[in-house]
Structure 1
Amino acid sequence: MQDLSHRLSVAPMMDWTDRHCRYFHRLMTRRAMLYTEMVTAPAILHGPKARLLDFSAEEHPVALQLGGSVPGELAQAVRIARDWGYDEVNLNCGCPSDRVQSGCFGAVLMERPALVADCVKAMQDQADVPVTVKCRIGVDDQDPAQVLPDFLQQVAAAGVRHVVIHARKAWLQGLSPKENREIPPLDYDLVLQMKRDFPDLVICLNGGVATLDQARALLTRGLDGVMIGRAAYHDPGHALIGADGLWGMDHTPVRSQVVRDMLPYIQAHLAAGGRLHQITRHMLGLFHGLPGARGWRQVLSQGASAEGAGIALVEQALARVEASAQAA
């Protein structure tokens, strides 16, 4: 029986997919799996656990993405995080940043599949939810057609049943993290071949997917799921509203209602001492491509960081959108 739980997910994105972003996204899709930003295992062991791990119950289903390469540290991090009630724990084997490389985790782990297998075994020993892996098709001069099947075989033998594959190589030398998201060519056919070669694995594709139509097309070709990244952040309305139709659900909220549904959450955040821009920065793309989008962005960008900015500013920005829509 096909696993439908990950038909669509929103990629973990550093500095973007924090708890406020995920709450906002959840108002547009009830079913898509949401991922945290990558959190390193040492940070959980030694840092402010509540600040790193807290999330709202409304965010479910939500996955915690961990970074690390020391099995014992990852196991401890999983044991600590278990109390927070995440629905999945994911090991990052795809991030190409210099900081990640120096710590021997992220995409550099594509060169160390045996170590990845040890890591996920240790994580599974402490987990009460599925442990999954997010990887690239290879790095640098590796031949993806050779290294990716070997990588999948070793993590599957370690007990992993679900892998998200970013369908690009990562160049650890010579390309910036941003360039690594855009320049290496996409190889969807290789990822589709991996699904045929590993039919018992849940295989989801990440990379270059910007619309629900693209996601549907890939699902019809046999993939178990599709992960959308930057499009879900920059244009969340188009990327996420209607996504629940992939599960046969009719949930297509109106953008203006999404804003109104955010207001109690924003008010609670402000009452707890938070700042408006910490939330509204994630909402700037909601009306992308629609009348009033520029005014929405301007009002929030210019005013949300001001001392005392509150929900009245959000209501003002929404009024600009609705006035533009009526005039259009």
Structure 2
Amino acid sequence: MQNLAPTDFQLSVAPMMDWTDRHCRYFHRLLSPHARLYTEMVTSAALVRGKQLRLLEHSQQEHPVALQLGGSDPQELAIAARFGAEAGYDEINLNVGCPSDRVQSGKFGACLMREPALVGDCVKAMRDAVDVPVTVKCRIGVDDQDEYADLQHFTETMLAAGVEILVVHARKAWLQGLSPKENREIPPLDYERVYRLKREFPQLVVVINGGITTAEAVQAHLGQVDGVMLGRAAYHDPYVLAKVEAALYGEPMPERADVLRRMQPYVEAELARGTALKHITRHVLGLFQGEPGARGFRRILSEGAHLPGAGWSLIEQAMGPRLAAA
């Protein structure tokens, strides 16, 4: 493996469109020193043809951080991967799991599970272009791929292409008839299929994703696979990351308010460069989930962060005396 051990993948936060931007990742890093963080999916076309290299912006505090790419053209993906590696990303991940119509029309995402040979060509081209690890995030199948044999064949093709780390969302994707949101909730979870994959391909680092919400569940999955990727739970209730850190690594759980205060230099630096407060605070709304006063915290930030001149004082106001001690 390219300078990595399986333990490097014990905990990660999933790439989530419109959510895991650089502000979100900075916040998550404060809660979880060990987690691998993933960008939102960036299309290879945006980087190569659109020259939108600003999409690669990230801070040094985010590491280890992976760039997730979407695409299906091996040469274009190789160039995009090189851009990502040159920008300093620790890993390049290929999206073979997103089921949205827009992604399908571009012939990438989950529909590529029907074309494992093409995915293998993409991976090989990317591996030849960069020295950092190239990984794949996929589903357990799409549409009528109901048999384990389909996932088995896909995995064999990935191994032949040089993939050493496979992140598997333990749900099938329906490419027609379900929205992306429904594809995250309706197809049943099949963790056992992912466990079986690890048993039959012990040389592969297997990371499981889908429906995992607690530190206890993370620990249970780690008895079967190498790593666990948290998705929506880490966004809506981000303090779960601190709980997992404590369970896996013995990290002391920080006070929620202290985590937020550690954001102050970052927030003020971003405001100084013209970033609107709302682009940062939308990611912290769930920090006090379950705590008395959490609703008022969310309301004050949601109503005030978009106003002209909104700054750090609004966050202090939102915490108030009750949450300031939480």
1:125 maps to 2:116: no
What runs of 5+ residues in structure 1 fail to find an aligned partner? Answer: none
Shift of 1:324: 8.9
Change (3 A) 1:204 1:246: farther
After the TM superposition, list the runs of 4 or more consecutive aligned residues in structure 1 that deviate by more than 4 angstroms: none
SS of the aligned residue for 1:244 comes to: helix
Change (3 A) 1:270 1:200: same
1:291 maps to 2:286: no
Shift of 1:213: 1.0
Give the TM-score, by structure 1 length: 0.96
Change (3 A) 1:293 1:161: same
What runs of 5+ residues in structure 2 fail to find an aligned partner? Answer: none
Distance 1:47 1:228 in 2: 31
Count of aligned positions: 323
Q: Which amino acid aligns with 2:242?
A: I
Distance 1:247 1:265 in 2: 27
Distance 2:53 2:306 in 1: 24
CA contact (8 A) 1:41 1:77 kept: yes
Shift of 1:47: 3.1
Q: CA offsets per residue over residues 149-205 of structure 1, 9 Å max, x none?
A: 000000011000000000000000100000000000000000000000000000010
Shift of 1:321: 4.1
Change (3 A) 1:246 1:62: farther
Q: Which amino acid aligns with 1:128?
A: D
Match of 1:47 in 2: 50
Matches within 5 A, 1:7-26: 7-26=10-29
CA contact (8 A) 1:65 1:89 kept: yes
Q: Which amino acid aligns with 1:312?
A: S
Match of 1:280 in 2: 281
Identity of aligned residues (%): 61
Shift of 1:322: 2.5
Give the TM-score, by structure 2 length: 0.96
SS of the aligned residue for 1:268 comes to: helix
Match of 2:301 in 1: 300
Distance 2:150 2:322 in 1: 50
Match of 2:238 in 1: 236
Q: Which amino acid aligns with 2:170?
A: A
CA contact (8 A) 1:242 1:252 kept: yes
CA contact (8 A) 1:207 1:229 kept: yes
1:317 maps to 2:318: yes
Shift of 1:147: 0.5
Matches within 5 A, 1:1-328: 3-220=6-223, 222-237=224-239, 239-245=240-246, 247-319=248-320, 321-322=322-323
Q: Which amino acid aligns with 1:153?
A: E
Change (3 A) 1:160 1:246: farther
